[in-house]
Structures are given as C-alpha cells and as structure tokens.
Chain A
C-alpha cells in the first residue's frame, strides 16, 4: 500500500515536469523610435526547424508622417501589411495633435523555415514601433 501511494505521488509529481519540458518558448522584442525618419529599414527574423509556431506581434503609433509595415515570409510572399498616417498635428499644429495606432497579430503554425522580413517604410515619420516575436517548440 505504501509503495502504491509513493508510486502515485511520484507519477503526479513527474507529469507536470514532463509537460513543462514539452514546450519551449523563445521570445524576442525590439523597439524602434522614429524621429522624422524616411529611411526604409528591414528586420530579419530567423525561423528554424526546431520551432513549430511563430507568433508575430507589431504595435505601432504615429503622430506625424506616414508609416507602412510589410511582413514577408522566406519565399518572399507578403503575409501581411498595414499603414498608418497623420495629416495634421506635430510641431506645426500642436493644438490638434492626433495619434494613429496600428497593431498586427498573427500566429503561423508550421511556419516556412528561413528568414522572415519585417519591412518598415516611413515617410517623415515620428513614430514608435514594438516588434515582439515568439517561437514555440512543441
């Protein structure tokens, strides 16, 4: 009986440990601040064989200019895009300062392996961009 109890307790203790080992998440975050920026930038994200899930989260807000963000998979196919822009506001018209916000959330199961690219195309942009990448290994 005692052995049986020890066995059951051991099983209960081991099961959560094995479950915890099943999934491994790898997070990276990058923040960008643009001040009257018009130069295009690219951020590459390596997606390797060991990860089964790739989640991309982009948060951006702008208070002057225009900002476009495009997401490409390793084959060059566009997987998403959005643009945000402000026509008024900024230093010239501070009383009517406006903010425009854009967010992108997408989870790719069994993503294409290789270099994913986030292309940032600003036009006289005063903006902030946060890019968070989560890769999960099952």
Chain B
C-alpha cells in the first residue's frame, strides 16, 4: 500500500516537473553591463521583413525586467498560433526605450521566431557586445536563424585585406549558400529569412527559375511575410490548359478573320453574277428583263405576289442593284462585255 502511494506521488511529481520544463515562453539569460544598459528587454513584433530595421513605440508589444542574474522572460500566451518574426532589443540608460542600434559594438537587438506554444531559450556569452555570441535553445527554427546569421556574417569578416575580385567571389558564394539554405529549409519563415539575407533582388533577374520553384514550394503559405515576398517577385503565375486552348483558339479566329478579309478584297469579283442566283431567281430575273411586273411574274410562275417580291429583293441584294432599271443596265453591260 505504501509503495503504491509513493508511486502515485512520484508520477504526479514527474508530470508536474515535465510541464514546468516545457512551459512556453521566451526565456533570456544575458550578461549586461548595467552601468551602460537599462535592465529591461523589449519584445517587438516584426510585421514584415521590410520592417526588420524599423523602430517605433507601437512595434513594442512587451517588456521584461532583467533580474540581478541577467534572466528575463516574455510570456507567449498572447502570441499568434503561427510562427512570426520578433525582435528583442535593449536600450542604453541614456537612450529612449525605442532605440535601435545597427552594427558596431553597441548593436542592441536580435531576431527570433516564436508562436503561442514555442519555448525559446536565449543566452549571450559576451557582455562587451551584448548581441554577439548568441546561443539559442528550445524552438528549433531559431537555431537555424542563427546559422543563417553566421553564414551572412562571413561577408563582413572576409572583406579584410582581399582584392575586390576575391571579395565578389566570396559574396557570390555566401549568397549561394543562403539560397541553398532557403531551398532546403522546412520552416517557411526561416526559409524566407535566408532569402532576404541573400539580397534576392539583385539575384532574381539571373535566377528566375529558382524563385519560381521556391514560390511553388510555399504556395499554401498565406502569411504577410509571403504575401509581401510574392509582390517583390514578378514571376508570372502558370495558366491552366483550358486558358491556353482558349487563347490559341482566339488567336486562330482573329487570324482567320483577317485572312478571309484579305482574300475577299484581293480575289477578283465573280464575273457572272447570275451564277449566284437560284433557278427560281433566274426565272424571275429573266422576266424582269422582259419588262414584266411582279403581278405578271406571279401569275406566270404560279406563285404568290409576296414570294415574287421576296425573290426580287434577293436578286437585288445578290446583284448589288436597287431597281429594275439597274437590272436592265446590268444585262446590257454583260452583253457588251461578251
């Protein structure tokens, strides 16, 4: 009985412990010179990759006090379910909370990916440059983010004492590595982060198929980050087969119309217009030629007057004439020609 109680207690303790360890949140452990830096960390939501280096008070969504041991924590329960890009920054004591320092030994920010359920652990190993030697643990996309930063950082470190040609080769190599990273990465935001670091704008005209395939791979991604990227990549969407058939048919129709128009104009007109008339119309025409009226024609052919009128109209139309007089003239012209 005693053994059973101990077993239950141990079980409850283990569950409690595992829940404690896996609690979502962004946990930081930073070495800061508090004489220079305020002991506060700020969390900003980065709405698009264009805004990675934008700073305003409205972007800051949370702040956390850094305790004496350098620890701080941001809750993630209010974050979106899907991954988003965030920035943590620190401010110097003399500076406003919303301050962004890019580059140099005072660089004050780092980027991370998180969502509501993510557990992110961040640590720095250098207090002289607070965002140097960053170490991520927990939510895996951040470890990949760090790898991308390390690849991109090679650009700066490799530019010392080398020729411009070699520098260009190194740049091309670094950007190619970043594209490979983007191509093989399974997280959409990390993948896009790698492309932005590779300065895709200048590479796109040379490597369009790569970007077409990339967009195809992430065609179901509907985040703002991808919508923005799609606008920057003017890859034409592939049309369906039905659209192509319709387009081909329309082109053929238009071409056919112009060809027939051209043939109609260029071919000589029918030399004997009477050939266009039906047997009955020829009979009517010959009676018109003889000077008979419609009534006389109807009696001769034993058809109604309206039928004769219909034939006469048809003859006028086919011979392109307007009156009986024109019909007689036409007849005389044909005789003269013959």
From the candidates B54, B57, B164, name the one contacting A86 in the complex (CB within 8 A): B57
A87 vs B55: C-alpha distance when bound (angstroms): 11
> Which of B51, B102, B167 makes the CB contact (< 8 A) with A105?
B102
Interface of A with B (CB < 8 Å)? 57, 61, 77-78, 80-88, 98-106, 108-110, 112
**Could you tell me if A102 and B202 are in contact, using CB atoms closer than 8 angstroms?**
no
3 tightest Cβ-Cβ pairs between the two chains A and B: A105-B104, A101-B99, A105-B103
| Alpha-carbon distance between A106 and B104 when the two chains are bound, in angstroms | 7
**Shortest CB–CB separation between residue B169 and chain A, in angstroms?**
13
User: Residues of B within 8 Å of A, CB-based: how many?
Assistant: 27
CB proximity of B121 to chain A, nearest CB, Å: 28
Q: Mark B200-212, 1 if CB is under 8 A from A, else 0.
A: 0010000000000
Name the residue on A nearest B164 (C-beta).
A110
Return chain A residues, CB-CB under 8 Å to B99. 100-103
When each residue 103-133 of chain B gets 1 if its CB lies under 8 Å from chain A and 0 otherwise, what string results?
A: 1101100000000000000000000000000
Contact A106 B55 (CB under 8 A): no
Chain A min CB distance to B315 (Å) = 76
Residues A82 and B159 in contact, CB atoms below 8 Å apart: no
A-contact 0/1 string along B307-321, CB 8 Å cutoff: 000000000000000
A84 touches B54 (CB 8 A): yes
CA A101 to CA B93, docked complex, whole Å: 13
Asked if A84 meets B100 with Cβ closer than 8 Å, knowing A101-B95, A108-B159, A110-B167, the reply is yes
The answer to whether B54 touches A98 (Cβ under 8 A) is no
